Amino acid sequence: MSNVSYMTEEGLANLKKKLDRLTRVERPAISEQIAEARDKGDLSENAEYDAAKEAQGMLELKISRLEELVANARIIDESRIDTSTVQIMNTVKLKNCKTNKVVQYTIVSESESDIKTGKIAVTTPIAKGLLGKKVGEVADISVPSGKMTFEIMEISM
C-alpha cells in the first residue's frame, strides 16, 4: 500500500536534491570508510568498521524512505486550490481565543513542514482541526498540552 504525499513542485525538487546528495556523495563516502576500516584487520574487534556499517545501514534506510516519498509524491496544482475552506497549501491567519495572539500558518505536506517558517504539516493536530473550516469559524483543537481554541480570520494562498 502506497502513501500518497501531496506537495509543491518546490518541495519535490528539494526532496530530489536531498536524495541525489545522499546517493552521490554520502553513500560513496561511507563505502570508503568501510573499505578503510576493513583494511585495518580483524573485523570482529574493529569498532571503526562496526560504526561505518551502522552508519551505512542508517543511510540506506534514509535513502529508501526518500525514494518511497519521491515515488509516491503528487504535485498539487496550486491554481485549483480553493480558499473558501481551510485545506492543504492554504495560509491561515488565526486568533488564539485565549490569548488574543494572532498567528499565521501555511498547511503543507509532512516533508515540507518547517515550524520556523510557519509551515505546519497537514498531519499535525492543529492542521487537522482547521481543515474544512471557514473564515469566522472557531476551531477547538486538542493538542498534547491541552485544548486550544482558534478563530479563523483569513484563508489565502
Boundaries of every domain in the chain: 5-75, 79-156
- CATH class assigned to 79-156: alpha beta
CATH number for the domain running over 5-75: 1.10.287.180
Bridge partners of residue 102, in order along the sequence: 95
pLDDT of residue 1: 41
| Residue 125 near residue 141, CB atoms below 8 Å | yes
Element (H, E) at 54: helix 47-71
- Quote the cell numbers at residue 34: 568501510
pLDDT of residue 4: 75
Tens of pLDDT along the chain (157 residues) come to 457 777 788 888 989 999 999 999 999 999 998 888 888 777 677 788 888 889 999 999 999 999 998 888 888 777 777 778 888 889 999 999 889 999 999 998 888 888 899 999 988 999 999 999 999 999 999 888 889 899 999 988 8
pLDDT of residue 5: 78
Please indicate whether the domains covering 5-75 and 79-156 agree at the CATH topology level.
no
pLDDT of residue 2: 54
CA–CA separation, 34 and 112 (whole Å): 33
CA–CA separation, 90 and 54 (whole Å): 41
CA–CA separation, 154 and 95 (whole Å): 10
